[in-house]
Amino acid sequence: MTDSTTLTVRLAPQVKRRLESVALRVRRSKSFLAAEAIEEFLSVQEWQIAAVKEGIAAADRGDLVPHENVRAWAAALGSRRKLPRLRAK
pLDDT in tens, 14-30: 999 999 999 999 999 99
What's the whole-number mean pLDDT along residues 41-51? 98
pTM above threshold 0.75: no
- Percent of the chain at pLDDT > 90 equals 75
What's the whole-number mean pLDDT along residues 63-71? 93
Per-residue pLDDT tens over the stretch 50-65:
999 999 999 999 999 9
- How far is the C-alpha of 80 from the C-alpha of 44, rounded, in Å? 33
pLDDT band at 1 (very low <50, low <70, confident <90, very high): low
Computed on alpha carbons and rounded to an integer, the radius of gyration of the chain in Å comes to 22
Q: Over the chain, what is the mean pLDDT? A: 93
Q: 73 φ, ψ to 5°?
A: -65, -45
